[in-house]
Amino acid sequence: MEIAAARVATFHYTLTDDAGAVIDSSQGGTPLPYLHGAGNIVPGLEKALEGRKAGDTLQVDVQPEEGYGPRNDAMVQSVPREAFQGIDAIEPGMQFQAQGGGGSMMVTVVEVGDAEVKIDGNHPLAGQVLHFAIEIVDVRESTEEEKQAGQVLAQA
């Protein structure tokens, strides 16, 4: 069975950066299931998996525009340190849920000053080419519940 819209595909992946450093991997763990066509994985990877079947292996390079988007310098801002009330130690690399113009978003602390904290609202992988090594494990029809939910539901 081929990967197509409304089918559940399960795959192992290893994601690396341009230097070949591993960013994330399912190897040695549980493969990742997703509902094809529902936008559950980055668009460039989803397009590359279309038509593939169990047992296929492939290398996929996803450009930023079809991954987590290009970096947007406007997403880097300085906010008053008072915005972090109740948090004693603020350090670079810490992540917080914040409310922005488009709703809730994750921000990463970039720099900490006495009066201000510089935060970055870009996804940590924004602007990067994503290099995936993929092994398709399984392809199956989705259930009606999964189609309605727009995602894979836990199997009993």
Question: 107 and 132 share a domain?
Answer: no
Question: 53 and 95 share a domain?
Answer: no
Domains: count for the chain: 2
Question: 13 and 61 share a domain?
Answer: yes
Question: 83 and 30 share a domain?
Answer: no
Question: 31 and 18 share a domain?
Answer: yes
Question: 14 and 62 share a domain?
Answer: yes
Range of the domain at 84: 73-120
Closest CA to 38 of 143, 149, 133, 153: 149
Q: In this structure, how many other beta carbons lie within 10 angstroms of the beta carbon of residue 63?
A: 11
CATH of the domain at 90: 2.40.10.330
> Residue 156 — pLDDT band, cuts 50, 70, 90?
very low
> Residue 146 — pLDDT band, cuts 50, 70, 90?
very high
CATH of the domain at 134: 3.10.50.40
Q: What is the pTM of this model?
A: 0.84
Beta bridge partners of 117: 79, 112
Residue 155 forms part of a structural domain: no
Task: Say whether 43 sits in a helix, a strand or coil.
Answer: helix
Question: 93 and 112 share a domain?
Answer: yes
User: Rounded mean pLDDT of 128-137?
Assistant: 98
- List of residues 6+ apart from 87 with CB closer than 8 A: none
Residue 154 predicted with pLDDT over 80:
no
- Taking each continuous run of H as one helix and of E as one strand, the counts in the chain are 2, 9
Question: 137 and 64 share a domain?
Answer: yes
Question: 97 and 61 share a domain?
Answer: no
